[in-house]
Amino acid sequence: MTDLARLGAGPLRDLFARGEASAVEIVRAHLDHLGRVEPRVEAFLSVMADAAQTRAVWLDRSRSSGEPAGALAGVPVAIKDVLCVRGAPTTCGSRILEGFRPPFDATCVKSLVDAGAVILGKTNMDEFAMGSSTEHSAFKRTRNPWDLERVPGGSSGGSAAAVAAREVPLAVGTDTGGSIRQPAAFTATVGLKPTYGRVSRYGLVAFASSLDQAGPIARTVRDAAMGLSAMAGHDPRDMTSSVEPVADYIGAAEGRGREIAGLRVGVPREFFGRGLDPEVAAGVRRCHDALAARGAEIVEVSLPATDFAIAAYYLVATAEASSNLARYDGVRYGFRDPHASTLKEMYGRTRQAGFGPEVKRRIMLGTYALSAGYYDAYYLKAMRARTLIRSDFARAFEKVDVLVGPTTPTPAFRLGEKLDDPLAMYLSDIYTVTANLSGVPAMSIPCGFTKAGLPIGCQILGRYFDEPTIFSVAAALESDLNVMKQAPPLAVDD
Ligand code: GLN
């Protein structure tokens, strides 16, 4: 492995800005390494080698002509295939979007490019971001770089695996119910779901519009802060995008934010109940101890509505999905069944062949929950539970500054282990969905490994738009726990 592919986004950008490495060298090092590990990891749906090289040449030229280097200048990034990249295939892991090439960039993609990033490719994902293992992709199975027999998590499993395997230092994922944080936990990467509205959703193919957020996945807290700084901000093209000023995430990640001494750290009681793997619990307890050792006050809090979280999430998310996915009818985008003789038959055959089983299951569930006679019993009730979840957080954040608990109940599971049992798959989202239902920001950081060598994720949740405090806590744990420097053997030995 060449040295350049070992480095994070920050060091790469600085080497480039100082003229010590060219963008062409950086991109070549990453593409070479990617070429060696990708056959085993299969994180990418498309690698944009030519476009990346052309862009690198352009960046080098613009630097030689004295143009100032952007905040991510020369940094290779991977984009989850649910985000539009102009002219590049955007499949959402689905056959129904095969052949679709959007004529525009998602706003968050454009922001990264404007900051000087080089897009290396689009990453694998569960179809339409529905899943927790990336096994629901219509195209390939991504493997966990730490154990190739295990899943990388999902739905942003391709982005997390690409970062863990050192194919890129920074990737973009999206999180509707945990899809950035859960794969980050499974792959020992740092993944942040920002506050709802912090990052524009324009050009992010909708799964559940009131829950979806894009965010960074990286190997260090500071690199994640660099990613968020580039992506965050108001976008007039997204009506739910916030006008709240963008804070100094990088400063917080460098330890210039909140002091940990005196910080009130909440431990949600409901996150330590039945079903939590003891090794995961022990890993998270080490985080509490490390923060206490710095003078944080550890306070037990209760989020009682967590009991309803999975049920509420799978009603709200599927209801919104059933409406969002109505647009894939063979007329406007991608795949169309060529054998139909009437328009109606064409719709039916296209959707029958184009969508996979999990997507169909969710369209049916969501349509049912919204149908006359069932709306009150299901959708409306789920919305009530959502309100209770929001009030739980509001109450907790009156007492504490952040919440620290596990990201997932277990470490990465085996490929195929939960594929035939949708409910077991859904239950792996128990600790992540509440941040989406309430809109608060939440990050997963690596906090240790099980005896079998599997990564353990610790989740840090904060108040609305208080990503800086999350970054402060994450940076403190990163330096105290010293687990992030480890790399999966596959990424080092090639
Ligand atoms: N695993 C959850 C689901 O299947 C979350 C997905 C996501 O965040 N996109 O819906």
**Ligand 1 contacts CB of residue 472 (under 6 A):** no
Going by the DSSP 8-state scheme, the letter that residue 135 receives in this structure is T
Instruction: List, for residues 247-303, the tens digit of each pLDDT value.
Output: 999 999 999 989 999 999 999 999 998 889 999 999 999 999 999 999 999 999 999
Residue having the nearest C-alpha atom to atom 10 of ligand 1: 130
Contacts of 218 (CB under 8 A, 6+ apart): 8, 9, 163, 169, 170, 171, 189, 190, 224, 226, 227
Q: Which DSSP helix (H) or strand (E) runs through 283?
A: helix 278-293
**Ligand 1 contacts CB of residue 179 (under 6 A):** yes
Mutate to test the pocket of ligand 1, among 125, 128, 130, 196 (most ligand atoms within 8 A of CB): 130
Do residues 218 and 228 make contact, with C-beta atoms less than 8 angstroms apart? Answer: no
**Ligand 1 contacts CB of residue 107 (under 6 A):** no
Q: Is the dihedral of CA 33, 87, 78, 251 positive or negative?
A: positive
Could you confirm whether 179 is annotated as catalytic?
yes
Q: How far is CA 386 from CA 185, 244, 379, 466, 468, in A?
A: 25, 24, 10, 21, 25
Give the distance (Å) from ligand 1 centre to CA of residue 345: 31
Which residue of the set 22, 46, 80, 444 is catalytic? 80
Instruction: List, for residues 415-451, the tens digit of each pLDDT value.
Output: 999 998 988 889 889 999 999 999 999 999 999 999 9
**Ligand 1 contacts CB of residue 127 (under 6 A):** no
**b/e per residue, 119-138, with b = 16+ CB within 10 A?**
bbbbbbbbbbbbbbbbbbbb
- What are the DSSP calls for 290-327, one per residue? HHHHTTPEEEEE--GGGGGHHHHHHHHHHHHHHHHGGG
Residue 179 CA, closest ligand 1 atom number: 8
3-state SS, residue 339:
coil
What is the band of 484 on the pLDDT scale with cuts at 50, 70, 90? Answer: confident
Query: Which residue from 255, 253, 249, 219 is spatially nearest to 233, judged by alpha carbons?
Result: 249
3-class SS shares of the chain: helix, strand, coil, % to 5: 45, 15, 40
Which residue of the set 111, 155, 200, 322 is catalytic? 155
3-state SS, residue 235:
coil
pLDDT at 367 over 90: yes
Residue 207 CA, closest ligand 1 atom number: 9
What predicted TM-score, i.e. pTM, was given to this entire model?
Answer: 0.98
Give the distance (Å) from ligand 1 centre to CA of residue 182: 9
**Ligand 1 contacts CB of residue 321 (under 6 A):** no
Give the distance (Å) from ligand 1 centre to CA of residue 58: 37
**Ligand 1 contacts CB of residue 130 (under 6 A):** yes
Do residues 277 and 283 make contact, with C-beta atoms less than 8 angstroms apart? Answer: no
Give the distance (Å) from ligand 1 centre to CA of residue 328: 20
Q: Long-range pairs for 131-135 at CB < 8 Å and ≥24 separation?
A: 131/155, 131/358, 131/425, 132/178, 132/179, 132/182, 132/418, 132/425, 132/426, 132/428, 132/429, 133/157, 133/413, 133/415, 133/418, 133/419, 133/425, 134/93, 134/158, 134/161, 134/183, 135/415, 135/416, 135/419
| Residue-level pLDDT at 490 | 86
CA dist., res. 140 & res. 18, Å (int): 39
Which residue of the set 46, 111, 156, 179 is catalytic? 179
Do residues 305 and 387 make contact, with C-beta atoms less than 8 angstroms apart? Answer: no
pLDDT at 118 over 80: yes
Burial of 39 (0-12, 13-18, 19+ CB in 10 A): exposed
Residue 429 CA, closest ligand 1 atom number: 1
Give the distance (Å) from ligand 1 centre to CA of residue 427: 11
Distance, first Cα to last Cα, the chain: 6
Give the distance (Å) from ligand 1 centre to CA of residue 209: 13
CA dist., res. 166 & res. 180, Å (int): 17
Give the distance (Å) from ligand 1 centre to CA of residue 72: 29
**Ligand 1 contacts CB of residue 429 (under 6 A):** yes
3-state SS, residue 3:
helix
Chain CA centroid to CA 380, Å: 28
pLDDT at 2 over 60: no
Instruction: List, for residues 169-206, the tens digit of each pLDDT value.
Output: 999 999 999 999 999 999 999 999 999 999 999 999 99
Give the distance (Å) from ligand 1 centre to CA of residue 126: 9
What is the band of 305 on the pLDDT scale with cuts at 50, 70, 90? Answer: very high
Mean pLDDT of 458-469: 98
Mutate to test the pocket of ligand 1, among 134, 179, 217, 418 (most ligand atoms within 8 A of CB): 179
Give the distance (Å) from ligand 1 centre to CA of residue 311: 13
pLDDT at 485 over 80: no
Residue 178 CA, closest ligand 1 atom number: 8
Residue 314 CA, closest ligand 1 atom number: 10
**Ligand 1 contacts CB of residue 317 (under 6 A):** yes
pLDDT at 87 over 60: yes
Could you confirm whether 155 is annotated as catalytic?
yes
Mutate to test the pocket of ligand 1, among 324, 429, 430, 436 (most ligand atoms within 8 A of CB): 429
Mean pLDDT of 330-350: 94
What is the band of 494 on the pLDDT scale with cuts at 50, 70, 90? Answer: low
Amino acid of residue 257: G
